Structure 1
Amino acid sequence: MKPKILLLHGSGTNASIFGLQSRKLAALLQPHFDLVYLDAPTPCPPGPGVLPFFEGCEPYLTWMDDSGAVPEQAYWEGEAFEKLVGEVRGLMALEEEEGGLVGVVGFSMGAKVGMEVVRRLEADDNIEEGGEKGKTGGGVKVVVAVCGTVPFRGGVASSTTAASEGDEAREKAYRASLDKGRVKAESVHLIGDGDPWRAEGEKLVEFFEDEGRRVIRFRGAHHMPADDAVNRQVVRVILAACKGV
């Protein structure tokens, strides 16, 4: 068995749809890694660009309600997120011959979920190891954030979906989240130049350590990049981060 990479879909899709959306990247990763796609827990309407291409591919699922600071905080503190962290820990605890988890790829909302999972694992491991500097969560070497949104949709002048009356609460929660510390694992941030949520993707970069992060910009909107050269570049970074695994 090969090392594993976890793939987390965006809001309003599901693991099967994301398997098709990520097929170009997946084809390049599969010779080196086993790919694990997980479904989000909560049904919701289809996400941007899902219809009509994936009509009839229900259920459409989301990780959380991030329409405001209060419901998003409830997710981070709730049972669904704890269950996800437990599932990821299970992937990392597999026997060596079965291939443990070494990377996370998240799209849109799945990017901030992946970031928070790895940050949580790193924090837990630091406690277990007595605060060892540079310790990364359970062997996760790299996080790939594609067109990511940022915790609490904060840090930007005007969030795409934020109601004006909720901006202050979002910003306060965003700052508190950022203050929890940066992810130590290496990171790759794919940002589409025409993405309506581009400003949030730029802010998500700040949640990762400076020295281990890379930003790749591509021509496109809120979708997985189709350009072969971009996908090959991402895979090269992943392979370099996982060298020796």
Structure 2
Amino acid sequence: MAPALPRIAFFHGGGSNSTISEIQCSPTAHALRNEYEFVFFDAPFERSAGPEVLPAFRDEIYQPYRSWFTSPNGIELTDGSGFESSGMMEEDGIDRVWDMMRQKGGNWVAAMGFSQGTRVVGGLLLDQQRRKEAGLFRNGDIDLQFGVLCMGGGAPMVSSISRDGSNKLDLIKVPTLHLHGTIDPNYQRGKEQFKTYYDPQHSAAIEIEYRHAMPWKKSDVEKFVQCIRKIAGFVPVQEKRGW
């Protein structure tokens, strides 16, 4: 029996879900099928369909559409809180996501997110980094080695330890790869996310001529996969931030 592959957690965009993201990510997951196992997670909140979801995923089998954040009274809860289960208030979003990953088990080595899901990835990486810096990282905790952020934008989801240092902007030093679509409406927000929250010595960005979508053309998938392999073994190089 072959040993289990290391796992990559995938977080969908706003107004999508794990079923849709598994389809959209299938060319990448297939190309890396002998190296990583992709596991797709569902956000807790229901909402309307997100950008580029319709009309392709309009059938009932692709619903409900979901979000990692809720906005009561029109104000987003940046920590992903607000979800109730059986009358009990759940944890903040990052704690909930760590629990979801622990319940699945396996050897988690990375997190990948699309659009809104990149904020979950950033939140996980920053939470892990700050817990290590504060001496709160425990033996057996999930230890993500890299992150991949696709067509993203916005600040990392706030965790409890991030909230305690909310006035302090720590650049994320866990190696990350950022995928931007040059004709994506999110293009500028993605570049701002990359420059604002990620250490330039530990991150790299690539661009493809796409709207708001995961790579599907063979040449683009191959380019993306090669860059994922590079970031998985990333050695900081100050003078090189793009591939």
Please give the TM-score of this superposition, normalised by the length of structure 2: 0.76
Query: Does structure 1 residue 79 correspond to structure 2 residue 100?
Result: no
Partners of 2:45 and 2:70 within 8 A in 1 = no
Q: Are residues 69 and 29 of structure 1, via their aligned partners in 2, closer, same or farther at CA, if it must alter by over 3 Å? A: farther
Q: 1:145 aligns with which of 144, 149, 152?
A: 149
- What whole-Å deviation, never above 9, does each CA across 1:147-168 have from its counterpart, x for those lacking one? 102129xxxxxxxxxxxxxxxx
**8 Å Cα contact 1:141/1:241 also seen in 2:** no
1:113 and 1:24 mapped to 2: Cα distance? 22
1:235 is matched with 225
Q: How many pairs are equivalent?
A: 209
SS in 2 for 1:87: helix
Q: CA 1:239–1:67 in 2, change beyond 3 Å: closer, same or farther?
A: farther
Counterpart residue type for residue 147 of structure 2? V
Pick from 5, 8, 16: which aligns with 1:5? Answer: 8
Which residue number in structure 2 is paired with residue 226 of structure 1? 216
CA contact (8 A) 1:10 1:107 kept: yes
Task: Give structure 2 stretches of 5+ with no counterpart.
Answer: 83-89, 157-164, 234-243
Check whether the contact 1:149–1:204 (CA below 8 A) recurs between aligned residues.
yes
In the TM superposition, residue 182 of structure 1 has moved relative to its aligned partner by: 1.5
Cα offset for 1:89? 5.1
Take 1:118 and 1:228, find their aligned partners in 2: how far apart are those partners?
A: 30
1:209 and 2:199 matched: yes
RMSD of the TM alignment (CA)? 2.8
Q: 1:66 Cα deviation (Å)?
A: 6.1
Separation of aligned partners in 2, 1:66 and 1:112: 15
* Superposition pairs of residues 1-245 of structure 1, within 5 angstroms: 1-55=4-58, 56=60, 57-65=62-70, 70-73=75-78, 75=80, 79-81=91-93, 82-88=95-101, 94=105, 98=106, 100-128=107-135, 138-151=142-155, 179-206=168-195, 207-243=197-233
Tell me the CA shift for residue 178 of structure 1: 8.5
C-alpha deviation, 1:51, in angstroms: 1.4
Question: 3-state SS of the aligned residue for 2:173?
Answer: coil
- The Cα of 1:69 is off from its aligned counterpart by 8.9
Amino acid at match of 2:70: D
Task: Report if aligned partners of 1:142, 1:238 keep a CA contact under 8 Å in 2.
Answer: no
Q: Percent identity?
A: 23
1:30, distance to aligned residue in structure 2 (A): 1.5
Contact 1:101 1:139 (C-alpha < 8 Å) held by counterparts = yes
Deviation at 1:86? 2.7
TM-score normalised by structure 1 residue count? 0.75
Distance 2:166 2:102 in 1: 22
SS at match of 1:72: coil
